[in-house]
Structure 1
Amino acid sequence: MKSNNKSQESQIISNKLITNKKESQKEAKAVVLQSVGYPFSFPLMDTHNLEVADKNLFEHYAKEQWMGLEVKEGSYLFDQKILPDFGFKVVNVYPNNSVIGEHTSIVLVIDEDNLKNNIKSIETNLTLEDVIGQEQAKNKCKIIMKYLKNPEIFGEWAPKNILFFGVPGTGKTMLAKSLANELKVPLYLIKATTLIGDHVGDGARQIHDLFEMAQKTSPSVIFIDEIDAIGLHRKFQSLRGDVSEVVNALLTEMDGIHENEGVVTIAATNNPEQLDYAIRSRFEDEFEFKIPTREERIAMIEKSRKTMPYEIKLSTNKLAEMSKGLSGRDIKEKLLKSALHRALYEDDDEITLKHFEYALNNYKSQNNPPKYMFG
């Protein structure tokens, strides 16, 4: 009898654990699938490509049979109805390790290049506190945060299109990542250079798919880096047909011809004055990112030196003086990391002035810095 009681107690505990696990799992906002075919090859049968006639119908069909299943990036789902054992790879799910539920958006992507370029959302653990300096830009981001928390109350007054501009390495991408993480919303990050394809229409289709996915998973953030790659003023470029198609598609989406409630588009550039007016005029606000001040450089250096494997035999004030004119990224990568690697190369067990002087001279020779640097 005792053994039976113990067995029953064990089963009750096991059931409770399973129930608690299910309750603690979050519902997936979006699942992106790619058809991979059958696990076995059949003669005269296409086992990979799957043509979907109606996206909405496929989403309903997929949700009906996979409701309640836990999904994570890299796992597989198998059809058990019309095409038994036909496989789909989960190429992206937000958030990862979540459950397909009633409100989950399910998207099937056929074009692998399209998938690589823009359909995947990214997750990060960055916070606004990790962005040192750029207080003006961070303060302006408050309105974006308020909008994404309650998009329904803004209506036509929503912040839709924002331009980040400034010297490379000053934290434009970092701020976008931290913004999305603070709000726990999907971030779709894409470089504009990847939109220029070999065939006219490829980039335009990617733009429309990107905004469609962002809308399905709203509230969400789209971040287009290096937008000047497609948006240069006509006098700065010989406009190719594919670039023109991409620009027109982007303008269409930014103008809100489709309802994009809860979606904020942020673009970044180092050269705002070179952007074509048709594109720049679509941004209702512009956030400038500046070279860090002395106080900000001190904070960056103090934060970085805590994690360095070797001791720095130089004061933070001295390093802040040496790094005048450098961006936050260059302070870490070109000064601190380069000095550390030099010390390792010379078999020294501490980082001294000579290592930093080497790093700085190496940086100057490689970059031909503008006149305002190191002056």
Structure 2
Amino acid sequence: MRSVQKMNKKKNREQYQDYRESTADVLIIEPAGYPLTSVLEEYPEIENPEVFECYAREQWNGYIACKDDFLFDRRMYPDFAYRIVDVDPPESIIGLETTIIVTENECIQEPFEFKSSITFESVVGQNVARQKCKLIEKYLEQPEFFGKWAPRNVLFFGPSGTGKTMFAKALANKADVPILPVKATQLIGEYVGEGARQIHQLYEHAEEMAPCIIFIDELDAIALDRRYQELRGDVAEIVNSLLTEMDGIIERSGVCTIGATNRADTLDTAIRSRFEEEIEFVLPDEKERLEIIKKNIDTFPLPVTDIDLSRIAKTTAGFSGRDIVEKLLKSALHLAIMDDKEYVTQEYFEKAISTIIKDNKSGSLNLIYT
């Protein structure tokens, strides 16, 4: 056994020596993209091929280049991949004298502008938020009118499921502008500097699309108060990059940042102070819950019969709009379908409500959001 191991080691050393003696004269690569979805799927634009060639040789010096293999950027664009189109001689070492040529890959495209079809009519209630959003709408329609008084940074806060994301999309639709929706957790990269780079790219693209909305959901994932630092890890460089953009050191006219959180009280004061306007989203009252139920029951694939909508609205205190639609109405409909019923009756709504309350150990739905 030992003799076999020695023979294999000797063979590997001989093969590596052959590689070392064969340095690549020409290496042809093409952009291949990221292995996982990034925030904006941006890839490096090479403005100066000579500078990039020097950068690439230094980074990949000593790598064995084989056709159809991948080379990964580890510095400026971490994890961005280049596919080896060809190498001469085949399976040779990348050296400091290797000529590196980058070809275009037509499969990689610039990020497209995202526009929403959701309207304000899709959201029930939130009259105060609806009124305050008119200011943002006017800014997006006439950015030059506001000058330095523009509402560039706005905070949406309130319980989960109250329509913050829908409002941002409806606002973009009403103002007829693109929206870039991003979850804050997507901005936390694996490498130092990656998160800051993604934020910078995000705002650069927004500037190109301006007027435009940047919607950062789950803001507390990167902007927790320093007292909760141990819970979030070290994301100081991400916060600093976001603060720089929100402060407008690089002026980006027509770009409105909307941050959303369920727990505004946990936000870092440095971040929260950058929002010129705070808009609160509240749980629907009984009248609004009744309207939500009526509006969505009309779209059921089965008819409803013998139901007391007022009773259902009264017994769902503490439910958000999303709870009513996703937990109550959908559950009642599914129960009726599973029982092979031709109608959805009151008993199915009662069963769904009982299940939701039972799942909440305290028995009070209001406590879900405190």
TM-score normalised by length of structure 2: 0.71
Q: Radius of gyration: which is bigger?
A: 2
Aligned to 1:93: 112
Structure 1 residues 263 and 51, CA gap change in structure 2 (3 angstroms):
closer
How far residue 346 of structure 1 moved from its aligned partner, in angstroms, is 1.6
- For 2:106 and 2:261, locate their aligned partners in 1 and report how far apart those are by CA, in whole Å: 41
Match of 2:156 among 164, 172, 175: 164
Deviations 1:89-120 (A, max 9, x none): 335433xxxxxxxxxxxxxxxxxxxxxxxxxx
Answer whether contact 1:200 1:242 (CA < 8 A) is retained. no
Answer whether contact 1:137 1:288 (CA < 8 A) is retained. yes
Answer whether contact 2:30 2:102 (CA < 8 A) is retained. no
The percent identity for this pair of structures is: 48
Deviations 1:146-191 (A, max 9, x none): 1110000111100011110101000000000000011111100001
Counterpart residue type for residue 326 of structure 2: E
- Please tell me the root mean square deviation across aligned C-alpha atoms, in Å: 2.3
Structure 1 residues 271 and 85, CA gap change in structure 2 (3 angstroms):
closer
Confirm or deny that 1:189 pairs with 2:189: no
Aligned to 1:312: 304
- For 1:311 and 1:85, locate their aligned partners in 2 and report how far apart those are by CA, in whole Å: 56
Aligned to 1:356: 349
How far residue 83 of structure 1 moved from its aligned partner, in angstroms, is 8.6
Answer whether contact 2:221 2:232 (CA < 8 A) is retained. no
- For 1:330 and 1:340, locate their aligned partners in 2 and report how far apart those are by CA, in whole Å: 14
Structure 1 residues 280 and 345, CA gap change in structure 2 (3 angstroms):
same
Structure 1 residues 331 and 141, CA gap change in structure 2 (3 angstroms):
same
How far residue 239 of structure 1 moved from its aligned partner, in angstroms, is 7.0
Give unpaired runs (5+ residues) of structure 2: 1-25, 33-42, 49-100
How far residue 197 of structure 1 moved from its aligned partner, in angstroms, is 1.7
- For 1:252 and 1:373, locate their aligned partners in 2 and report how far apart those are by CA, in whole Å: 38
Aligned to 2:63: none
Aligned to 2:336: 343
SS at match of 1:177: helix
The size of the alignment, in residue pairs, is 279
How far residue 306 of structure 1 moved from its aligned partner, in angstroms, is 0.9
Match of 1:145 among 137, 147, 155: 137
- For 2:263 and 2:363, locate their aligned partners in 1 and report how far apart those are by CA, in whole Å: 14
Deviations 1:32-61 (A, max 9, x none): xxxxxxxxxxx9521335853449xxxxxx
SS at match of 1:93: coil
Structure 1 residues 276 and 86, CA gap change in structure 2 (3 angstroms):
closer
Match of 1:365 among 340, 358, 363: 358
Counterpart residue type for residue 349 of structure 2: F
Deviations 1:264-290 (A, max 9, x none): 100001110111111111111111100
Aligned to 2:323: 330
Match of 1:249 among 241, 253, 256: 241
Residues 191-270 of structure 1 aligned to structure 2 (within 5 Å): 191-238=183-230, 242-270=234-262
How far residue 209 of structure 1 moved from its aligned partner, in angstroms, is 0.5
TM-score normalised by length of structure 1: 0.70
- For 1:91 and 1:48, locate their aligned partners in 2 and report how far apart those are by CA, in whole Å: 13
